Structures are given as C-alpha cells and as structure tokens.
C-alpha cells in the first residue's frame, strides 16, 4: 500500500510503503444515490441537511439520524474529511426524533435536541480503545480514553447484552439509563 502524507498546504510531505495483506481502507463517505442531488434535502456530498431538531428545513416531514446526516466540518483540512458518527451519538439522535414526533402529534412545538455525545468501545481484535467525548463534535466538555485487552472483552460482552435487549424489544432498560445517568451520559440536551 503506497501512502502519501499531506502537509497543511496540500503538498505531499512524506510517502511510505506499508505491507498489504489483510488490510482495510475506508473511502470518504457519501450519501446514497436515492437521495443525492435533491435540492434542499441533501448537501453536495449527499448527506441529509437537518436543523437542531433533526428535521429537514425544506421538507419538514423528513427527519434524519445517523451516518446519513450532514455535519459541518469542524475546521479546515488539506483534504476533505468527514466528521465521525458513532452508535451512542446516533441513539441520541433517534431519541430526540421520537420525542419531537410525539410533540408534533400532540400539536406542540418541537423542543428536543440530541446531545451527540460519544461513548464508544472500538475493538481492534486483541485489544481496543474506549472513549467518551461529550459532545462528539469539539469544543468538548469531556474527553476521556483508555486502551487494553479489557476493551475487546467488554465489546464482546456488550454485543451479547445489546442483541439480547433488542430481541426482548427493550431499547433502554431502566438499569442502563441509570448507569448512563450516573456517568453523566445523556441523550437529550437540558
């Protein structure tokens, strides 16, 4: 694999060749063809434009959450990069949407804003990194990370727990909400 390291001015600062056997590369994300290019719905990369209530301003019957939403870059970079989106952050988006839809049905104005907090166990196979970023997009109030084999084990355990609760039809059991509250990890602002 031939890798070019780009300097701040866009020039090539260094190149290196890495062994390529079982490797993974993530290309830049873009929105799916079904929505790309619809004026007012998506940005030029095909991500859905939303307001602070996760709602599209042009098509108010459209709400969006997850990796498909348009998030403005946090700063200037020599090559365009996306903003990371992770599971807990996405759960906060869907919680805000569900609560806002409830308000719409009751004829009230929407008030719920997702925190976009990140709480992540990233598994690297034999180890991993756990991190909390509140909110995920800087400037942050909380920035914490730790690594080790325990993250891999925690992720394997979490997967079993997560699939189990979803199979039971319970998205957020009270003990999970309690544990997250104790850690100060909220899904809705305020």
Q: Which residues bind ligand FAD (CB under 6 A)?
A: 32, 34, 66-68, 85-88, 90, 120-122
Contact 90, 72 (CB under 8 A): no
What's the closest the beta carbon of residue 45 comes to ligand FAD, in angstroms? Answer: 15
What's the closest the beta carbon of residue 12 comes to ligand FAD, in angstroms? Answer: 27
Q: Please, is 93 exposed, middle or buried when counting C-beta atoms within 10 Å of its C-beta (0-12, 13-18, 19+)?
A: buried
Instruction: In whole angstroms, give the CA distance from residue 137 to residue 132.
Output: 12
Nearer to ligand FAD, 47 or 110 (CB): 47
What's the closest the beta carbon of residue 91 comes to ligand FAD, in angstroms? Answer: 9
Nearer to ligand FAD, 7 or 171 (CB): 171
What's the closest the beta carbon of residue 84 comes to ligand FAD, in angstroms? Answer: 7
Nearer to ligand FAD, 66 or 127 (CB): 66
| Token pair belonging to 59 | 């098509």
Nearer to ligand FAD, 83 or 101 (CB): 83
What's the closest the beta carbon of residue 66 comes to ligand FAD, in angstroms? Answer: 2
**Nearest residue by C-beta to ligand FAD?**
66
Nearer to ligand FAD, 32 or 179 (CB): 32
Q: How many CB atoms lie within 10 A of CB 142?
A: 15
């Amino acid at each position: 694999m031939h890798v070019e390291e780009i300097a701040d001015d866009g020039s090539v600062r260094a190149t290196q060749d890495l062994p390529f056997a079982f490797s993974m590369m993530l290309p830049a994300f873009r929105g799916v063809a079904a929505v790309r290019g619809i004026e007012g719905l998506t940005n030029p990369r095909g991500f859905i434009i939303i307001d602070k209530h996760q709602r599209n301003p042009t098509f108010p019957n459209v709400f969006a959450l997850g990796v498909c939403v348009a998030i403005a870059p946090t700063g200037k970079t020599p090559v365009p990069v996306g903003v990371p989106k992770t599971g807990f952050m996405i759960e906060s988006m869907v919680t805000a949407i569900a609560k806002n839809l409830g308000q719409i049905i009751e004829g009230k104005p929407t008030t719920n804003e997702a925190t976009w907090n990140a709480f992540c166990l990233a598994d690297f196979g034999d180890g991993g990194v756990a991190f909390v970023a509140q909110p995920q997009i800087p400037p942050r109030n909380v920035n914490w990370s730790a690594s080790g084999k325990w993250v891999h084990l925690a992720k394997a355990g979490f997967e079993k727990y997560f699939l189990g609760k979803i199979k039971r039809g319970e998205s957020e059991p009270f003990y999970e909400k309690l544990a997250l509250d104790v850690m100060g990890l909220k899904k809705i602002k305020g």
